[in-house]
């Protein structure tokens, strides 16, 4: 890893390696310490302020990002100009899978930092060189992308079969478990009703109504741009 890049990011190689070890990123699963060190040596570190753009939909996919801390969201913009969040990216997860393909591709969605974040960054040439010499890296990527297909299948079935409150309960429970940070009375998420509506594929009005009801029941605590899910598993058991 370039020393100047590390200094700019305020993080040393050992600190980045320690974070990767703690995160247990699925991209690096099954790789030896020496192989991980080789991968790390090819990366730079970048910091992103909250709401700053990481990738733009339609741009050539020239960089792959592994989120170290903070979080990000992938989104697209509807023909009516509405930003629609498609995916939340946690520490240890990746943005820019298209860089692994030999054929030049575009980013199919935009992404931005959901809060102040840092990421390891590989240029397309660097990540492709690593993929050519480390087949496990490609296998890990394929397993992760396969997981996205499984998730899409579940979401599509939920959109067809589940009620709006059921979909919202699933979204809140999954986000709280995967991306929330612990506070005194539960798991806190920095997310608004509009993002929850997009995630659950409902309009904002049922979300607002249901959140008020769950707050009355003591299942959530709502604030401006944030929500505390007191018992994520309990949301999946409520009668909706």
Q: Tokens 């910091």 — which residue?
A: 47
Which H or E element spans position 186? strand 186-189
Name which of 108, 109, 102 is nearest 124 in CA terms: 102
DSSP 87-113: EEE-TT-EE-GGGGSSS--B-SSEEEE
Does residue 78 contact residue 84 with C-beta atoms inside 8 Å? Answer: yes
Single pTM value for the model: 0.78
Residue 211 near residue 220 (C-beta atoms within 8 A): yes
What are the pLDDT tens digits along the chain (240 aa)?
444 344 445 677 778 888 888 888 999 999 999 999 999 999 999 999 999 999 999 999 999 999 999 999 999 998 888 888 888 899 999 999 999 999 999 999 999 999 899 999 999 999 999 999 999 999 999 999 998 888 788 777 877 788 888 888 888 888 887 777 788 888 888 888 888 888 887 888 989 999 999 999 999 998 888 899 988 888 877 665
Q: How far apart are CA 35 and CA 164, in angstroms?
A: 46
User: Which two three-digit tokens encode residue 215?
Assistant: 């707050």
CA atoms 148, 154, 160, 164: torsion sign = negative
Helix H, strand E, coil C: the string for 111-178 is EEEEEEEEEEEEEHHHHHHHHHHCHHHHHHHHHHHHHHHHHHHHHHHHHHHCCHHHHHHHHHHHHHHH
- Helix (H, G, I), strand (E, B), or coil: what is residue 62? coil
């Amino acid at each position: 890893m370039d020393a100047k890049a590390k200094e700019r990011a305020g993080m040393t190689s050992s600190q980045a390696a320690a974070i990767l070890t703690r995160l247990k990123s699925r991209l690096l699963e099954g790789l030896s310490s020496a192989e991980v060190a080789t991968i790390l040596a090819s990366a730079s570190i970048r910091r992103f302020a909250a709401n700053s753009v990481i990738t733009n939909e339609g741009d050539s996919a020239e960089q792959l990002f592994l989120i170290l801390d903070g979080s990000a969201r992938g989104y697209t913009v509807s023909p009516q100009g509405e930003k629609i969040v498609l995916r939340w990216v946690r520490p240890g997860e990746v943005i820019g899978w298209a860089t692994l393909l030999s054929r030049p591709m575009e980013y199919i969605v935009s992404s931005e930092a959901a809060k102040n974040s840092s990421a390891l960054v590989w240029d397309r040439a660097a990540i492709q060189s690593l993929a050519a010499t480390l087949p496990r890296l490609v296998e890990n990527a394929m397993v992760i992308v396969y997981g996205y297909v499984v998730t899409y299948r579940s979401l599509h079935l939920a959109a067809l079969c589940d009620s709006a409150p059921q979909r919202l309960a699933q979204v809140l429970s999954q986000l709280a478990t995967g991306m929330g940070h612990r506070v005194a009375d539960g798991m806190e998420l920095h997310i608004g009703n509009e993002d929850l509506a997009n995630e659950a594929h409902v309009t904002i009005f049922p979300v607002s109504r249901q959140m008020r009801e769950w707050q009355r029941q003591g299942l959530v605590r709502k604030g401006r741009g944030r929500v505390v899910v007191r018992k994520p598993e309990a949301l999946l058991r409520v009668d909706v």
